[in-house]
Chains A and B, each alone.
Chain A
């Protein structure tokens, strides 16, 4: 794509200061979203996906802070922040103020749909009043017009008897219906980018299918771009054009969806793909990724995936790979590729210790490596 990207995220780092220490939930994240495309953002729970998208909207609140990075959207500078040597953050001149974020970006240009439809609606206000409030804030409509628009939107996302359901409270809606309401909210202000944070994980499979169909239909109708956060590779295959894979706050692979599935570059992505339960297999053959993901506080040295990586070698413990182009349009952060020039081929492989973690062979006594 030669055209300027719709959204450009460059080197964004977001951290949380907790009692136990500082967690870099998002570390030096860079990616683009082009017009009309659906970008998948995948990774295990705790990878930093939600923090990443909240950072794009500048919705990180204490104890979290975006410490550096640049984000531009259609020429608006959403973020331009750098951290001086003293640790103090400085914002660039052109960066939008909080008020400008509210009046120009949030809702109007970029809309969010959250993970849990049960949690995303305010329990003490009616569906209609919540939807209407968002419409009134972002579009110059009168109260009555906003109400009519809200009912129309509810109808459009497939809520039957929209007129009477307008007056009902969230607890009177099923999960799928609430998710439709959230989609109606996202559509309300005709944004050019919708960021959906695992919008279907809380739903059962049939409802999920219906919601995905609805999204496909709206995509063709409005030509909206999407960032679709999920840890479901099946959903990725179904709706995404390109995919970003995240591990412990970092992007470790970027690829068009076909290449991601068929010419997988990063060992973590391979593990993720293997972990998809296939319908014709019994659950016994389900292959979860070995080991648990460490938390952001104790991120492993070198390549953060090395304790769990089947291809790990000693060099992976000390050298931290950045994201580099491996193939046309396909980037990965893995030392086994020649572009890294890291002596991977001559480095001794790591073996599995009694905790299931990969360590240098000499640290494991006697018969190393189980199964």
Chain B
């Protein structure tokens, strides 16, 4: 799987027109310098040789050195940016799941009542509004006009107080971090909230019509227990799948969100990499997105197996 991703990235990137070294050095650089730099990054070798070198490196966790960032190892650059993006994705998912699951479930319970209609309209708006537009609107309203939230930057909750302006201790760092997270989280989280809520509602509706739900009610189980225990767990199966898929779209959304809020995460990193045609960096970041995707699928599968006893890994009934 990962070998496949690495290979495809390698081929795609090398099929791109243009030469990163020329871009970096600028026009009018003499050929000798260009040749020297090219050989430093191994770009003078034939393609197949570069491929094997690259794959061997990948196997050892070495993704090569960035051209744009003057030879800084790609892995180092990624590890520096990754926590920022993960923080953003995690906070937007926390928002999405904590809003969407109860709202979707309640909407299903009150099918065709006012609560249901309102939540469905919100969900529809949520899935059909581009996140960069939401981001820009939030910045205009809350950062420029009301001036309540910052429009750019992100502070890691574990940053050292001395690195954070106006923060004397760890608590204040945490506060500042949350403060900076609000708008980007809403920007990135809206789409996920809406998408998860829709699935949650329809899945819950389907489950609530099943015989085993009526049976539980027929034996005097309270409607609250029926909803929370008997229905929710069954209804979560399709939702878990959507959450897994959303993880990938969230990475795409993160690229836009980071750009809108000038956050130095993986999103802005890949944009820089592409703009400067920094082959090793592009390959490294893409490979990393691939890894995250695979991890997402894996987590989905494990959750699924946990929720649904009919699925067993390793085959056979137990």
Contact = CB atoms under 8 A, between A and B. Distances in A.
Is B a genuine binding partner of A? yes
Interface of A: 54, 57, 59, 61-63, 98, 101-103, 105-108, 111-112, 114-116, 119-126, 133-134, 137-138, 169, 171-172, 182, 185, 189
Given A115-B211, A172-B317, A59 B218 contact: yes
B306 to A, nearest CB: 10
A108 B218 CA distance: 10
Interface string B110-146: 0110000000000000000000000000000000000
Interface in B282-316: 307-310
Given A111-B219, A138-B219, 10 more contacts: A61-B208, A101-B220, A102-B221, A102-B222, A103-B220, A107-B220, A108-B220, A114-B214, A114-B215, A185-B219
A237 to B, nearest CB: 27
Interface residues of B, number: 24
Contacts of B217: 59, 106
Contacts of A102: 220-222
B9 to A, nearest CB: 40
A61 B110 CA distance: 11
B218 A57 contact: yes
Contact of A137 (B111, B221, B317): B221
Interface string B11-33: 00000000000000000000000
Contacts of A115: 211
Interface centre among B208, B219, B220, B223 (most CB of A within 10 A): B219
Which has the most chain B C-beta neighbours within 10 Å: A62, A119, A120? A120
Contacts of B307: 124
Contact of B112 (A54, A62, A107, A112): A62
Q: Is chain B's interface secondary structure helix, strand, loop, or mixed overall? A: helix
Contacts of A172: 317
Residue from A123, A169, A182 whose CB has the most chain B CB atoms within 10 Å: A123
B223 to A, nearest CB: 8
Query: What 3 A-B pairs have minimum CB-CB distances, sorted nearest first?
Result: A107-B219, A106-B220, A112-B218
B207 to A, nearest CB: 10
B215 A124 contact: no
Given A62-B112, A169-B310, A172-B317, A120 B220 contact: no
Given A106-B217, A111-B218, A134-B219, A171 B310 contact: yes
A115 to B, nearest CB: 7
Contact of A107 (B218, B234, B310): B218
Nearest to A185: B219
Contact of B308 (A107, A123, A185): A123
B228 interface: no
13 contacts: A59-B214, A59-B217, A98-B223, A105-B220, A106-B217, A106-B218, A112-B214, A112-B215, A138-B220, A171-B309, A182-B215, A185-B215, A189-B219
Contacts of B216: 122
A63 B205 CA distance: 12
A62 B309 CA distance: 31
Interface in B217-257: 217-223, 230, 233-234
A122 B308 CA distance: 11
A273 B294 CA distance: 61
Contact of A106 (B112, B208, B219, B234): B219
A123 B211 contact: no
Nearest to A57: B218
Contacts of A124: 233-234, 307-309
Contacts of A171: 309-310
B179 interface: no
A61 B113 CA distance: 13
Contacts of B230: 122, 125
B212 interface: yes
Interface string B251-294: 00000000000000000000000000000000000000000000
Given A124-B234, A124-B309, A172-B317, A116 B211 contact: yes
B211 A119 contact: yes
Given A62-B111, A114-B211, A115-B211, A123 B218 contact: no
A160 B217 CA distance: 28
A123 B220 contact: no
B212 A122 contact: yes
B111 A123 contact: no
Q: B214, B216, B220, B222: which has the most chain A beta carbons within 10 Å?
A: B220
Nearest to A61: B208
Interface string B182-213: 00000000000000000000000000101110
A105 to B, nearest CB: 8
Contacts of B215: 112, 114, 120-121, 182, 185
